Amino acid sequence: MSRSHMSLKAVGDVEGWREKSSPSLRVYLATWEEQTMARNAVVNLLMSSELRPRPVYLSVLRSHLLFSMAEVVSAVSKHPRRQTPARLNLSVELEDPGVGSRGKVVDLYRLIAQQPWICNHRDMLGGAKRSVLRALSVLLLAWVFVGGQAPLAEEEMEEVWEEEVWEEEVEKEAVAVATASTVVCPPECSCKVDGVVDCAGVDLTLFPEEISVDTRQLSLQNNQIEEVTVDHLSRLHRLETLNLQNNWLTTQGLEDEGFEVLEQLAYLYLANNRLTLAPRHLPRSLVSADFAANQLTKIYPYTFGEKPSLKSVYLHNNKLSDAGLPDHMFNGSSSLEILIMSSNFLHLVPSNLPSSLHRLHLKSNKLEKIPPGAFDNLSNLRELYLQNNLLSNEGMDNLTFSQLSSLECLDLSNNNLSVVPSGLPRNLVLLHLEKNAIREIPKDALASVKNLEYLLLHNNRLRSRSIHPTAFQGLKKLHTIHMYNNLLERVPRGLPRRAKTLMILHNAISEIGRNDLVALYTLTELNLSYNRLTSSRLHRDAFRKLRTLETLDLSGNLLQAVPLGLPRSLLTLRVKDNRLNSIPDGALAGMDNLKEINLSNNQLKLNSIYQGAWMELGSLTTLDLSGNQLSHVPSDLPESLEYLHLASNRISSVPPSAFQGTPNLKGIFLRSNRLSVDSVSESSLAFLTQLQELDLGPGSADSSPFRPGEEEEETF
């Protein structure tokens, strides 16, 4: 039996490549005698130059030959840096090569010659490893196509480069070889849709072997897979989505070369694994990569660099530090829009971020300052999240955010700011400054943010006198203001006239004058709960001008009576947890829109509520009078009422007529009163056809919620 030996010959000016913008390599099939030159040419090329080859398709290689490739790679990886591997034979012995087509040889040469090469001079050992892998793949590919046909003469070859070739034919041949022995679907998985293999959550410990080369989407999440090698992925050249999140993958079990051959891969999910180092190289076709919740400490230049289609990268919940990031992490990735790097150990904002970014998350890091110009390039940034860091006013200047012309959302909450920062971008819509140590809002701090709509300043140390009277001047779009959990003694002056939501609960406000709220005529929600308001220092006309107010919360104050002059537009009124002992005559008059009123945990008695108070509320659906001193069910309840809360009072009986005027009741709550089994008339509930829940409390007529239509479960 005759034998033919084939090896690789690389022809090109190695040194000259550094000066070319688009270098290429001409690869020839050489005879056995030229093997030494071929080995040195390929390996030294990668060792000495700054060029790294893109992988030749491995999908057409026969599976029984891939194992020997892995052995070669393993041998190369053990050699010292910058040394040509010793005794490495790049030739392949072919038995009975037969007669092949000269045209296919030409096509193969041209196909290989057209592969672009990119730079990676930082990892010489990895380069040698990959170069040998690719050199061997070229030989095997030649064996598949050509069957060992002798190469053309070098003079003929030079003429061939100028001729027309038939690449489509070669590709079809390659796919035919690759698909010859594939199995449609692994037994553990589901393949209901063409090109989609679903192996999620089936307790796999090994990568499935029998996956079709036509697979476009492979779901392997929620398993216990520990290893993904070149062999596993080399045939899946059409793969577009690979989901490996929630597995047991480590850096040692994840071979970089496997990803490099997936030249159509767009979506890669590796979150919730055990990776400590990111892959050195990912496919150029990548659109989105998720490495969240690993243990990553290092990112390489070509992990995310040179990815022109890359849109989103998720790196949150890792162990990344400044030293673990390359200077140009996204060089050549000019389409990146979303970058999530929250919950790491960064002390500095990553440098040289692409101007294409729309959303940047850096929360929960160790940022203490933002260097000048850190964000100047990010003219398209819309959302910036810097909360839960160590930022102070000293760590920023007036120009820190000024160049972010597209920024709409800025979150600086839970930092160490003492003053609202100046120089904010003009298009800002939401400014979140919660949980700082802010004591002051200077006159011009908000002057530039004319489009501001949401201002969140809760959980700080603001006092009324430290807010400049003109601090909100010109903010005509500002409609939501949160200032709760501060040290305010009065309602701040100069609030924007078009505010709709004002949350100033949990402060020290003890007085509201006649004109404190008069300018807020568009207000729809006002929360003044848990302050120090008393009836004597709450002006009777304090709320009268708020003609669009829908929700008013005065809970947790020191009020003794329901305030007069409440706006008739109210839908919800909460005055619970006060010291109410009366509802003055006419306090609720004209409030035809009121749907919910909560007066729980006060000191109200029936004789302290003016006659007909509830009957006037024609739209009322929920009345909460629990935790008061009522002796029986009120008799003047409105017909519209659906939920009646009377728990924790002094009610001792429910007469037959108690609910005659409220046929729409769905819930009655009478827990913790003085009721007995005989004190609740059954006829009082007879006409309540919509009743869904009746709570009389333990030891009473019904110790659990009652729902009509439910039958007690029969036990045996």
The enclosing domain of 234 has a CATH number of: 3.80.10.10
91 vs 469, which has greater pLDDT? 469
- At residue 88 the predicted structure's pLDDT band, cuts being 50, 70 and 90, is very low
Residue 151 has what pLDDT? 40
- Same domain for 99 and 161, yes or no, is yes
Split at pLDDT 50, 70, 90, the class of 203 is: very high
Asked if 191 and 166 sit in the same domain, the reply is no
Number of domains in the chain: 3
Q: Residue 117 has what pLDDT? A: 32
- Residue 222 forms part of a structural domain: yes
Q: Exposed e or buried b for every residue in 200-230, given b needs 16+ CB within 10 A?
A: beeebeebbeebbbbbbebbbbbbebbbbeb
Boundary-marking domain end, from 351, 366, 381: 366
What CA–CA distances, in Å, run from 381 to 307, 330, 338, 409, 437?
Answer: 20, 16, 9, 9, 27
CA distance 249 to 232: 14
The domain in which residue 242 lies consists of 185-366
Shared domain check, 201 and 127: no
Among 46-50, 134-138, 539-543, the minimum mean pLDDT is found in: 46-50
Both tokens assigned to 345: 């150990």
The pLDDT of residue 228 is above 50: yes
Return d(Cα 334, Cα 308) in angstroms, integer: 6
Residue 149 maps to a domain? yes
Residue 112: exposure state from Cβ atoms within 10 A (0-12, 13-18, ≥19): buried
Of 699 and 697, more confident: 697
Least confident of 79-88, 106-115, 341-350: 79-88
Q: Is residue 113 very low, low, confident or very high in pLDDT (cuts 50, 70, 90)?
A: very low
401, part of any domain: no
User: DSSP assignment of 263-309, as one string?
Assistant: TT--EEE--SSB-SB--S---TT--EEE--SS---B--HHHHSS-TT
Across residues 464-481, what is the average pLDDT? 95
407 within domain boundaries: no
* Shared domain check, 169 and 215: no
- The per-residue pLDDT for 426 is 93
Give kind and range of the element (H or E) at residue 503: strand 501-503
The residues that bridge with 680 in the sheet, in sequence order, are: 654
Mean pLDDT computed over every residue of the chain: 79
Query: Which of 70-79, 347-356, 468-477, 554-563 shows the lowest mean pLDDT across its residues?
Result: 70-79
3-state secondary structure 188-228: CCECCCCCEEECCCCCCCCCCCCCCCCCCEEECCCCCCCCE
Best CA proximity match to 235, nearest among 256, 196, 255, 209: 209
The confidence score (pLDDT) of residue 229 equals: 93
What's the pLDDT at 171? 43
Distance CA(254)–CA(229), nearest Å, equals 6
Whether residues 578 and 713 fall in one domain = yes
- In this predicted structure, what is the pLDDT of residue 209? 86
Between CA 639 and CA 157 the distance in angstroms is 97
What is the secondary structure of 2-58 as a DSSP string?
-EEEEEEEEES-TGGGGG-SS---EEEEE-GGGHHHHHHHHHHHHHHSSEEEPPPP-
Question: Residue range 286-303: average pLDDT?
Answer: 97
pLDDT greater than 50 at residue 699: no
Place of tokens 């006829």: 683
Q: What is the pLDDT of residue 716?
A: 29
pLDDT of residue 24: 31
Taking the C-alpha atoms of residue 410 and residue 449, their distance in angstroms, rounded to an integer, is 12
Domain identity same for 158 and 205:
no
| Residue 78 neighbours by CB under 8 Å, 6+ apart | none
What integer pLDDT is reported at residue 157 of this predicted model?
A: 38
Average pLDDT rounded to a whole number, residues 290-302: 97
Paired residues of 481 in beta bridges: 455, 502
Cβ–Cβ under 8 Å, residues 578 and 558: yes
> For position 548, what pLDDT does the model report?
97
The reply to whether 24 and 146 lie within a common domain is: yes
How far apart, in whole angstroms, are the C-alpha atoms of residue 445 and residue 440? 10
Reported as a pLDDT band with limits 50, 70 and 90, residue 698 is: confident
User: Can you name the residues that pair with 95 across neighbouring β-strands?
Assistant: 3
Domain boundary pick from 337, 366, 395:
366
Residue 249 lies in a domain: yes
Examine the fold and report which residue of 178, 211, 233 is the final residue of a domain before the chain moves on. 178
Distance of CA 312 to the CA centre of its chain: 10
Picking from 252, 356, 270, the residue whose alpha carbon sits closest to that of residue 311 is: 356
* Mean per-residue pLDDT, 164-170: 39
Residue with tokens 């080859």: 53
Question: Does the predicted TM-score (pTM) go above 0.85?
Answer: no
Looking at per-residue pLDDT, the higher value among 52 and 236 belongs to 236
Residue 317 predicted with pLDDT over 70: yes
Residue 443, C-beta contacts closer than 8 angstroms, at least 6 positions apart: 468, 470, 471
310 vs 41, more confident: 310
Helix (H, G, I), strand (E, B) or coil at 622: strand
Residue, of 16 and 666, whose pLDDT is higher? 666
Give the highest mean pLDDT range of 28-42, 43-57, 657-671.
657-671
Residue 684 in this model has a pLDDT that exceeds 80: yes
Whether residues 131 and 195 fall in one domain: no
What's the pLDDT score for residue 687?
A: 87
Q: Residue 27's pLDDT is what?
A: 35
Say if 569 falls within a structural domain. yes
Sign of the Cα torsion 438, 511, 499, 619 reads positive
Q: Same structural domain for residues 558 and 698?
A: yes
CA 621 to mean position of chain CA atoms: 39
Predicted confidence at residue 242, as pLDDT, reads 98
Length of the chain: 716
Task: Based on the fold, state whether residues 157 and 199 are members of the same structural domain.
Answer: no
- Is 668 part of any domain? yes
pLDDT above 90 covers a percentage of the chain that reads 67
| pLDDT computed for residue 607 by the predictor | 92
Rounded distance, CA 260 to CA 120, Å? Answer: 14
Residue 133, pLDDT > 70, answer: no
Q: How many CB atoms lie within 10 A of CB 90?
A: 24
* The pLDDT of residue 480: 98
Q: Per-residue pLDDT averaged across 283-298, rounded?
A: 98
Both 614 and 715 in one domain: the answer is: yes
In a shared domain, residues 133 and 204:
no
Q: How many CB atoms lie within 10 A of CB 9?
A: 20
What is the Cα gyration radius of the chain? Answer: 37
Q: How far is CA 60 from the centre of its chain?
A: 38
Residue 408 lies in a domain: no
pLDDT of residue 677: 81
Asked if 51 and 117 touch (Cβ cutoff 8 Å), the reply is: yes
